[in-house]
Structure 1
Amino acid sequence: MKQERKGKTTISELAAEFGIAPSAIRYYEEMGLLSPHRKNHRGQRLYGDRERARLKLILRGRRFGYSLSEIADILELYDADPTQARQIMRTLEYGFRHIREMDERIEELLEIRREMLDFAGNFVKILEEEGEDPEAQTFAGLAREVIRELETKKFGVRSGGAEETLSWDKGEGRAGPQGGKGGKGRARASPPVMPLDRKSAAGRKDESRYAGK
């Protein structure tokens, strides 16, 4: 039994390791993203390093907002390209797209925040006009301090430059910028979304090797 399970784990153990429900792992199996190597004598599915690495990528992708179809696309490229180049390019392509979508949502939230502060300022003015109510004046003073504090709070500012979209041409296998005049312009600096943890180069290579087998 020990020899049979050497380097392998059950679905319950794998779920506990990643802090998810076993049903989530079964769902990823149904979607074709995971496939246990074999079953033990009790009929249990056993998971090795390959499935552990793939599950790590799946969960990270979901956290970053990747769809399951995008994650499946990325995982398939492990088998198609041992160098990982196409897998990394596709990961970056999807990653930059999601970062820009997040930027748009952030802008919308910041606009709503500005509107709420404007409304708050108007309400404070109404309280300040109630000069005969000491409690209202005290509350207005405190509210005014909160508004000043919130108005001075700084958030990340996106860099300028021509808007570009990095994409990998699936048909020709070429990576390049799109957008701007004549395809020219400066790409906006966005943090890369890498498929693996920031470990040593050797550690990343080992993990990707397991994911592709």
Structure 2
Amino acid sequence: MTEEFFNIDNSIVELISKGVIGLSALLALAAFYLIRQEQKKPTIRPEMMKIIKLFLSFNLANTVIVGLFTLPTFQKNKELSSSLSEVHHIQEDIQVQDTKQVRLMDSLSAVTVHLQDSISQMIQINNLVRERSNAISDISSQINSQLVSANSLLKDTFLLSTFKAGVDSVEASMMSVSTLIEKEKTGTLTLLEKTTLIKKANELNNRIFKLNKAKNTNTKEALSKKIETISKTKK
């Protein structure tokens, strides 16, 4: 109610105030005119003169009172209206700021949701990378174990081939020594062949010693297992 009253246009208040003052002034002039007319009559009526003077005094007092109270009130209303307009501008600014704040909060909420989604995606990617790293570690360990098995198999193959070569070499040396011994029995052995016989006999002893050493290192059962492993691998 108060806000609607203060929102009345100042021109309307001013018009009403001036109308009341003008009407009071006109009534005062009319009373003054009645006094002049009463004085022109041959017989003046004291009671009528008294009433007219009272009416004139009332109108003059009404004009002064309305002027004294209405015009300052109009000025204050004008100042108050300007203050209210400033308040309205401030309220509009506050509403604009509230709207901006609401939009900012909405944007912040959207950014927060996007950030949460990004964090969850990062966690999923981290878990995926960890799983792949574990899988790569498992594959690497399997490859290493397979490489160790392959190296062991190659080493066993090399030892077996070395052992076979030693056996073949001993057999060849034994055949050569046997031939020279047969010649010695028949008496057809020359001096150079005797020297060769002694040399080959020493070589045969050395090879037999190495072969026995290899045999002690790799027993017959171990060699059979290695041969089976090699044959299965070749298949």
Give the TM-score normalised by structure 2.
0.21
Q: Greater CA radius of gyration, 1 or 2?
A: 2
Q: Determine which structure has greater relative contact order: mean sequence separation of CA pairs < 8 Å that are 6+ residues apart, divided by chain length.
A: 1
Relative to its length, the structure with more strand (as a share) is 1
Give the TM-score normalised by structure 1.
0.23
